[in-house]
Every structure is written in structure tokens, then in C-alpha cells.
Structure 1
């Protein structure tokens, strides 16, 4: 298979998953890519961002529509929920799902967040489109979202944002969240019940999913290195976009937020004896040493000390006993007792996901680890060349769980790197 054939297949998959319509509440037309027909048909926040990244080199106008639709429900304060239930019956689905703030169902938007990759998506779309007017229209909205995260999810003003549900992290069933859920080696049913009860608790008693209030209730509170790495990386993308528009003061203020979060991760989550970052759970910020992918993710941040990045890359990422599997990068380290490379009933406990590989490879290239990035990119292309799936086995590259999956196409963005010259 050559590069153009794979690109054509990826575009065909994304076009097959496109959903359009008119929403009576917002009085606007919507266009977005469903993650997977028959399994995930609403618009999920970070799925949508990765769809836009993939489309940036395949159909940039559709990529722009994807992000425009994603921000239609944005509140005046900047908030955007982790999923939107589009269409005539959207408010009904929003109400019965239990993930929207109580009484706010007509907005068709959940009350939770997801990993903030919105700025990274807008940057890729802007780089490929060269559309300065679109960037001028969208950047204030995107920045407003990140400012909301800083205000509402960092009440201590220490640079770290918190989450109140595993679903907010995007890595739903990661073993890094087990202890905070009060579980030990849980099965699928236990995880579903715990998360369902938590969703309804947050919706009914969260005062609009207020982080400060839910932290006081202390049902589930977590400082996640992965979330904060993506947040800091997002501010770096915002700085880059401000410079594209010759807005130097705004670029510098964005970098200050990035640097503050980077320093906070190193001050509060870095464990020098382990040579990696750790999770902080509960209002008391209890250390959690689970070796999941979040433990290494701050290496993606621009400005992270290269010596620190090199230590994590050598000790963990490229260590075959940890994250350097035949098909990298697993969502949990091989040495972790909860590592489940072939599991499909409970997710994010071992399998590989293309969206994380995209973020990691991009960060590695930024820090000069081009050979490591190229290996991740090549293996990712090999996996998606078979089929577009939600997850892949880190041992065999076998596609797993969701089929015809939108965000798997994110890996086509790797085809623009110097590693690929025409043939796969």
C-alpha cells in the first residue's frame, strides 16, 4: 500500500462517519465526524479534535467545519462539554445520560471536560489551511476555553488542573484511577457501576459540575499528569497561533501559563527517585504510583528540561520491560500488575491508541528524539494500514474494540514527516 492509498482510505472512513443536520435549540446546522457508527454517534470533544487533525491534510474545509461545530455550544464563560447530543432529541439524551449539569439539558452538552487538545487541533488546521481569518475567528474562542480551565479547575492557582471523573481524563478505565474509585483489580461491571453512580452524583450535587464544590465533597478528585501535560501543550499551541497573527503579547502570556503548569508538574508530581511523574488523588493529594501512560506524558511539553525528558525516554518509554512493546505505546506499562494488552471489556489498561501516539511522537520530535518518534510513527502506520480501530494490541498490533474508528486516522498526519517517502 502506498501513502496516497492510505490517505484515501482514511478520508473515505471519515466521510462515511460524517453526520450533518439542523439543531432546533441552537438554530444552526452542524457537521461532525462520529467516532464510530453504531457505537459512538454523538460528538465527543477530544475525538472531534483528532478528527480535525486527521482532516487537516485530507479535507481542510471539513476540518474547519468540525471545530466550528464543536464550539457551537460554548458558553459565554468559555466552557465546552465533553460531548454534545446534536439534533431534535438531543436534550432528551442529554438528560438521561446523567453527564449534564442538572437542569441544563437543553444545551445538549455534558457538564464534564475531556483532554484539552482543542488548541493543538486548531493549530494543525491553521497550518494546513493558511486561513488567517478563520484563525482570527476561532482563536479567541479556543483561548477562552483554556482560560476557563485555569479559572475553574485550578482553584488553588498552583498551575495544575483537576478532574472529577475518570471520563474527564479520556482514559476511562485506566488503573491509575482505581484507588480513587475505591476499587482493586475491578471487572467491567464494577467500573461501569462506579462511574455511573459518580456521574449522577456530580450531575445532581455538583452545583454545575463545580470543581471547588466537588473537591469539598471528595467523591473523586484527581491531579492527572496526562491532563496537565496536554493542557500545558495546548497553551504552547495557543502561543504559536498568536504569533501567526503577530500578537506577541498574547503569545508571551500563553507561554507563561505553559511554563507555570510545567513547573507545577515538576514541583508536585515529579518523583526524582522513580524518574517519572505520579498521580495525586483526593482532596488531600495522596500520591499514586501506578505506572500508566500519564506517568511519562509531560515529556511532550515544549520547554520541559531535556535531561528530564531523556531520563524518562531511556528509563521508561524505550525500555522493553515498561512501554517499549513491539507496537508502542501501551496505555499501561508492561511491569504494571494491571497491564492487560488484549483486554476489550475494560479499556485503557494496556492497548495502544493512535491519539496518544500522535501527541507523544510530536513531543519527542520537539525534543530531538527523532528516531524514537519515527519508530512510533512507523508502527502506528503499520497498525492503521490493517484497519481503523479504537485500540490496538501493543504485542501484535491487532485492531481492537470499536471498528471504523475516526481517531485512528490521526496517524495519517505522520505521513507528512520525513520518515515516509511514498511507500509504506
Structure 2
């Protein structure tokens, strides 16, 4: 058996071990993340699609089973009971929203909307096109309804860009980008018992003070029953995130393509194209920073760009957002700031910044899911050498260190350079896709 075959078999073992046969979903990893996470499940389904279509379909169905009546898809679904994670369902109290899922306990926040492009990936991967298209037909309108929710309830200026009200909605939980917003806040010191630091070295996780900010934002949302309009009015954290909106735009394009295959969806295709035209134009106008040569986050509460470069800055390549000239600028920025010979691509935050931390969650380490997006985006623009470097660096990190949650970008760190949870599901799932592509 070749090294490639061994890696694929080991990845399958990780995914199969983390899959709950009874409830039909996959935990990100044992202990640290005992429930179903939104965008994790999308990436996990891509891995399953290569060898177990039934599990891929069940993963998506389990996620959509907790969709709210207004189209909202939460970031965590508490299918099961567990005392290894805080904050759990009794803290989030999703039932405060009148249209929250009646069948599942969930959070009242979401994550980057990957399901649209995930459905298209499944269609392209699975050999039995009739079977997978029937599955897509049964579920695509739910994903469309989710997009409708964003453009109706998360876009107060009707400009085509959805806001997030919590850093956990970004997917890049404790990024240094948020430090500027924390400086505008002074939340109480909450009394709580962290569970993550009993599983993982605390130096690799957000601080307790950072958790005060996180919990305070949830308390504000709960006070107003998770009403988007009230949150837009009152939350001190209100951000237009390039990664989040790039995933939405990519998923719009995927839904258009899938509806065209399915047929009899002219109204939905027309609406998606309207959203798409407005979103791409405004994204380029508002989120690109000429000085930094990259897309950045926009602080909607304080009406200004947050001027930091992160791996999220390059995610618009995945969604075909930049024109050719701007794509070249992004590649120049990525190569110059992130691509030195002694680093693996792509660190999650600017290695030249004094806020960079190569071991701490989203403050610097390499993440396989962002690398997968960047690989696909770079390849689509014809940057084949750089895309292959991102792919090969991802494979090398897993081969050397295991299926960790995130990795040190410094090549001189040769031992214990995998951090966070081990046997991490999306690392395994996307490694399979890397090796099959």
C-alpha cells in the first residue's frame, strides 16, 4: 500500500470513528467538540462523498433537520447530551426565538454558509448522478431559504453583504482581527467553567477574558430573543466578514448551477443572480484595501475597515470575486507576507504582525479547511504553482503530525507542531479530497 493509500485509509478511520450511526452526524473530534457544527459538517460531507455517499447525505440531513422556520441554520446542533463543552444548550437557549427549531436544541448564531457549494461538490464527486441529484432536489430549497434569510435579515443596508454579530459566526473564532472590537467593549467578568482547556493546552486556546466578550455578545442576543433587527441595532460586534460573504457568494453560484441542472426554478435563479450581482460589486467596493493589497473585514458598527490581513483575506479567490488584476495583487500579498521559504502556507494571520501567534487557534496556525478553499481558488485563477504548494503543504503537515485541528506554520518546528483536537474530522475529510484531486 502506498503512502497515499495509507493516508486515505487513516482519514477514513478518523471520519468513521467520529460518525454517530444512530443520529447520522459527525463530531469534529472526541471530547473537545461533542456536537454537530455547521460548516464542519459541510466539509466532512465532501470527504464522505468519496467513499460513503450514504454518510455524506446523512450528514447534510442531520444539519438541515435543525433549520429554523425562518431559514436560519445554527452553528451548533445539540443532538446529544454532553458535559464536555461550554457553553452548551442551556446557556444558548435558542428557544427564545419564536421560529427556532422545535425539534432540536441549537445555538442562536450561524457559521460561514458552505452548504450551497458543498451540494455542488457532492454532485461532482458522487458517481451515481441520479441518486445524488435526487438528494439535492430534496434539500436545495432549504439551502436557498437559508440564503434568503441572510439577504432579508442580515443585510440592513440592502447592499448585498451579510453581517455577523459574533466572532464564532466567522468561523475564525479568536482571530486578532477582533481585538480592535474588544477594545470598544467592557463586558462583565463571567463566572463559568471552561471545558476546552481540560482537553487541550490552554496556551493554544482563547483566554478566559476573551470568553467574557463571547458570552456577553450571546447575552445581548438572548436579551432580544435572537432578533436580527435588534442585534443589528444594538450589538457592539457587527461585521461584514470577507470569508463569510465569499462562502455565501460561492454558494449562490453553486445553487444557480444546480437549479439549472434540475430545471423549473427560473424565479429562484433570477433572485440568486440579483443577489449575486449586488453582492460581488459591493464586496469589491467595500472590502478591498488597496494599501494592504487584500480584502479585509468591515466594522459595520463603527463604519470602517479593520486593517489586518488574514487567510480570510484570500478566500474571495474561491468565489471568483476579484478580477484578474486584483487576483494578481492577492497572490503577491500572499506570497510576500505568508509565503517565505521557512513557512508552510497558509498561516491564518499575518506572520509579520505583532499579534501573530503560531500556536494559538486562529491567531496564526495553518488550518486545513482554509487551505482547501485557497487551493481551489488559486487553481481556478490559474495560479497552479502556488495552489499546488498550498495543497502539498497541507498534506505534508498531516503526514508529519497527524490529523490535528490546526498546525504551526513554522518549518523549523518539527515536533509536536499539530495543535488543538486530534483525529479532527475536517482535516481528515479534506485530506481525502486533496489526495483525490
- Please give the range of the TM-score, normalised by the shorter of the 2 chains: 0.7 to 0.9
Match of 2:191 in 1: none
Q: State the SS of the aligned residue for 2:163.
A: coil
Map Cα deviations across residues 37-90 of structure 1 (whole Å, 9 max, x no partner).
111010000111111011111212211110011101112321111110014789
1:19-418 pair list within 5 angstroms: 19-21=20-22, 30-87=23-80, 95-98=89-92, 100=94, 102=96, 107-129=104-126, 130=129, 131-182=132-183, 188-203=207-222, 205-207=223-225, 209-246=226-263, 249=266, 250-251=268-269, 253-314=271-332, 316-319=333-336, 321-323=337-339, 326-343=343-360, 347-386=361-400, 387-396=402-411, 398-409=417-428, 410-417=430-437
Q: What is the number of equivalent residue pairs in this alignment?
A: 400
Distance change in 2, residues 1:99/1:19 (3 Å): same
CA distance in 1: counterparts of 2:145 and 2:300, whole angstroms: 27
Q: State the SS of the aligned residue for 2:24.
A: strand
CA distance in 2: counterparts of 1:4 and 1:99, whole angstroms: 44
Match of 1:27 in 2: none
Distance change in 2, residues 1:215/1:224 (3 Å): same
CA distance in 2: counterparts of 1:217 and 1:248, whole angstroms: 38
Distance change in 2, residues 1:4/1:181 (3 Å): same
State the shift of 1:223 in Å: 1.2
Q: Choose 97-106 or 392-401, whichever is displaced more.
A: 97-106
CA distance in 1: counterparts of 2:151 and 2:347, whole angstroms: 29
Distance change in 2, residues 1:16/1:339 (3 Å): same
CA contact (8 A) 2:224 2:230 kept: yes
Q: State the SS of the aligned residue for 1:296.
A: helix
| Unaligned segments of structure 1, at least 5 residues | 22-29, 418-424
The alignment yields a C-alpha RMSD, in angstroms, of 2.4
Q: State the SS of the aligned residue for 1:389.
A: coil
CA distance in 2: counterparts of 1:385 and 1:88, whole angstroms: 33
CA distance in 1: counterparts of 2:82 and 2:311, whole angstroms: 37
Q: Choose 321-330 or 100-109, whichever is displaced more.
A: 100-109
State the shift of 1:97 in Å: 3.0
Q: State the SS of the aligned residue for 1:173.
A: coil
State the shift of 1:101 in Å: 5.2
State the shift of 1:93 in Å: 8.0
Q: Choose 368-377 or 240-249, whichever is displaced more.
A: 240-249
Q: Give the alignment's TM-score, normalised by structure 1.
A: 0.88
Q: State the SS of the aligned residue for 1:112.
A: coil
Q: State the SS of the aligned residue for 1:84.
A: strand
Q: State the SS of the aligned residue for 2:12.
A: helix
State the shift of 1:20 in Å: 3.5
CA distance in 1: counterparts of 2:349 and 2:274, whole angstroms: 31
State the shift of 1:247 in Å: 5.3
Map Cα deviations across residues 329-383 of structure 1 (whole Å, 9 max, x no partner).
111011122111123xxx2000011111111111111111122111111111111
Q: Which has the higher contact order (CA 8 A, sep 6+)?
A: 2
CA distance in 1: counterparts of 2:304 and 2:113, whole angstroms: 24
Q: Give the alignment's TM-score, normalised by structure 2.
A: 0.85
CA distance in 2: counterparts of 1:49 and 1:275, whole angstroms: 30
CA contact (8 A) 1:94 1:108 kept: no
Map Cα deviations across residues 263-291 of structure 1 (whole Å, 9 max, x no partner).
11111122223322222214232221022
CA distance in 2: counterparts of 1:140 and 1:105, whole angstroms: 17
State the shift of 1:163 in Å: 0.6
